[in-house]
Amino acid sequence: MSPEGAARRTVEAVWRIESARLIAGLARVTGDVGLAEDLAQDALVAALEQWPASGVPDNPGAWLTSVARRRYIDGVRRQVSFERKAQEIGRDLAEVADPMDEIEFDAHVEDDVLRLIFTACHPVLSRDARVALTLKLVAGLSTEQIARAFLVSTPTMAARVTRAKKTLGAARVPFEVPAGAELSPRLASVLEVVYLIFNEGYAATSGDSWTRAELCEEAMRLGRMLAALAPGEPEAHGLVALMEIQASRIPARTGPGGEMITLLDQDRGRWNRLLVTRGLASLARAVSLSGSEVSGPYVIQAALAACHARALVAADTDWTRIAILYRILGSLSPSPVIELNRAVAVSMADGPAAALPIVESLADDPALRHYHLLPSVRGDLLSRLGRTAEARAEFERAAAMTANAAERAHLLRRAAACAC
Amino acid sequence: MRVMVLVKASEDSEQGNYAAHADEFAAMGKYNEELLKAGIMLAGEGLAPSSEGKRVAFGEDGGTRVIDGPFAEAKELVGGFWIWQVSSMEEAVEWLKRAPFKGTSVELRRIHEAADFEGQLPQEVLDAEQRLRAQSGQQP
């Protein structure tokens, strides 16, 4: 690697470490996240220009902060001189410059980062905008990296980020951690953004898109940050647990030919044990904070994932517990997909006859009209009950509904097996 | 990517003489908190003195012999480790540069991912390795 390339990579590494704190500190001082990000970017550009020649300073974070802070003060000075008469400038400069030196850019920096997370995930923004802004401001990713991960062009992503910053400014979103009754829905918005990022990566890990798979790591990092900055929130720990347990399965999800391997068929020896252990520990923390394994949707989903993680072989899975957890999850946020998952768990715990009525009750649900897993699950239950002709029809229906070639082949094989 | 950070033992850590280093402990606690709040720390532990350690030597014929600690040369012993999840080795270096160490050198090593071995080792070997991991996971 050339010395310039090495220096550039070092600047990028420092940026990854420092940017959230830098932007958050500037946002508290300026009260404007958009301006804070612009000032921080100026400091990044200065570092990219100077560090390759001068070397990385001993305290790169302080260096970046002082450059950004100087830009800000210069900007305020220019504004002052523009607004005041020429003879007053000297006095005003002195008045303005002094208080600037008093500003504590480093004070309460962790509170600032938490404020930054809540601001980037503010509900005034669309989901796409929240995701983009969080990756940009909090995770320290470049616009190019985010664009690549979300399969859009860099100018499109840049426009999305700019628009989001403008929206925050126009809505006069205060730079703060919400309190009281506002906290719960705002925290839900933050958790949703982090989990969206995770799922964007998780959905891609079965394919060949390596850069998208990195989103899982970013999301886990954000989740851990959040859990460390807001350690009293059970749902934050629940989300970390859910992501870590799901991510532990990534090495086992794909076969040698790149095909998807379902949970029950995975070689559990390939699961990442460190992530399983960490996930179970995070779940335990969430449970000890809330006193319950069913306190919120992320804790419940983590508890569900933990039922699989604890079973060393698929046959050891506690399906009764899974069925109960799905019932509770469904009562918190009713969804036919959750109900279908519950039916599968009931069929594993109590047999297909107990599960069939649940699936039948979903037959007319408009939300599942194009959902191939409904006929697929129904076909499975019918075939286990020996009703092969009906089962075959369901598998064929499911095969016609899925866009995934591997899945279609699998369903057609099952349909053919019913004929024997 | 994951990296392991290997920290060396010192004369004092080998003696279990921690009282003299209260300030360093406090600084390290603060550093650990920073790692935690950045979301990069997956694991980290300090090791007890090698006087409590054992070595098992394997002969050419596979025969074994147990050697009791302490082991000589404190600066060649591992005294503790972290496992970090970072986006690049450069990021790991920048994080490590912030650690409150003095008068030592600390090693960073990338942790292998399964993909590193694919195509290099026969599938049976990889499968056996994975079975082993499953068994080691059986201890709670």
Among B4, B37, B121, the residue to mutate for chain A (most A Cβ within 10 A): B37
Q: What ipTM was predicted for this assembly?
A: 0.80
- Sheet containing B107-110: order of strands: B41-46, B78-85, B2-8, B107-110
- Here the tokens at position B87 are 């986006």
Burial class (CB in 10 A: 0-12, 13-18, 19+), A149: buried
Strand-pair partners of B82:
B5, B44
Residue A52 lies in a domain: yes
Q: What is the pLDDT of residues A121-153, one digit of tens each?
A: 999 999 999 999 999 999 999 999 999 888 889
pLDDT, residue B131, reads 58
Q: Cβ of B88 under 8 Å from any chain A Cβ?
A: yes
- In Å, how far is A149's CA from the nearest CA of chain B? 14
Closest residue in A to B133 (Cα–Cα): A269
Instruction: Please report, in angstroms and rounded to a whole number, the separation of the first and last CA atoms in chain B.
Output: 26
Instruction: Give the list of residues 6+ apart from residue A297 with CB closer than 8 angstroms, or none.
Output: A235, A329, A332, A333
3-state secondary structure chain B: CEEEEEEECCHHHHHCCCHHHHHHHHHHHHHHHHHHHCCCEEEEEECCCHHHCEEEEECCCCCEEEEECCCCCHHHCEEEEEEEECCCHHHHHHHHHCCCCCCCCCEEEECCCHHHCCCCCCHHHHHHHHHHHHHHCCCC
Residue A191 lies in a domain: no
Contact B43 A274 (CB under 8 A): yes
- In Å, how far is B125's CA from the nearest CA of chain A? 13
- In Å, how far is B53's CA from the nearest CA of chain A? 24
- Interfacial B residues in 18-37 facing A (CB < 8 Å): 36-37
pTM for the model: 0.86
Give the span between the Cα atoms of A410 and A293, in whole angstroms: 36
Contact B94 A270 (CB under 8 A): no
Torsion angle of C-alpha atoms A53, A56, A58, A61, degrees rounded to 10: 130
Q: What percent of chain A has pLDDT over 70?
A: 90
- Interfacial B residues in 36-75 facing A (CB < 8 Å): 36-40, 42-43
What does the domain layout of chain B look like in residue ranges?
2-136
Residue A124 lies in a domain: no
Residue A340 lies in a domain: no
pLDDT at A354 over 50: yes
From A89, A106, A123, give the residue that closes a domain.
A106
Domain covering B2-136 in this structure, CATH number: 3.30.70.1060
The mean pLDDT of A368-390, rounded to a whole number, is: 94
On average, the pLDDT of chain A sits at: 89
Q: What is the pLDDT of residues A285-313, one digit of tens each?
A: 999 999 888 889 999 999 999 999 999 99
How many domains, in total, are found in chain A?
Answer: 2
Contact B77, B55 (CB under 8 A): no
- In Å, how far is A319's CA from the nearest CA of chain B? 20
Residue A141 lies in a domain: no
Closest CA to A278 of A311, A307, A241, A312: A241
Closest residue in B to A276 (Cα–Cα): B137
Contact B123 A12 (CB under 8 A): no
Q: How many residues does chain A have?
A: 420
From A37, A72, A106, give the residue that closes a domain.
A106
Lowest mean pLDDT of A13-22, A387-396, B7-16, name the range. Answer: B7-16
A80-94, B69-83, B109-123: range with highest mean pLDDT: B69-83
Give the span between the Cα atoms of A60 and A315, in whole angstroms: 53
Residue A217 lies in a domain: yes
How crowded is residue A260: how many other Cβ atoms within 10 Å of its Cβ? 15
Strand-pair partners of B43:
B83
Contact B42 A222 (CB under 8 A): no
3-state secondary structure A216-279: HHHHHHHHHHHHHHCCCCHHHHHHHHHHHHHHHCHHHCECCCCCECCHHHCCHHHCCHHHHHHH
From A281, A305, A329, give the residue that closes a domain.
A305
pLDDT, residue A5, reads 81
Q: What is the pLDDT of residues A24-48, one digit of tens each?
A: 999 999 989 999 999 999 999 999 9
Confidence of residue A208 (pLDDT cuts 50, 70, 90): very low
pLDDT at A211 over 80: no
pLDDT, residue A97, reads 45
pLDDT: which is higher, A293 or A159? A159
CA distance readout (Å), A27 to A13, A15, A24, A391, B79:
22, 17, 5, 60, 41
Reduce the DSSP state of residue A40 to 3 states and report it.
Answer: helix
**Domain assignment of residue A22, given as a range:** 3-106
Reduce the DSSP state of residue A31 to 3 states and report it.
Answer: coil
Contact B93, A56 (CB under 8 A): no
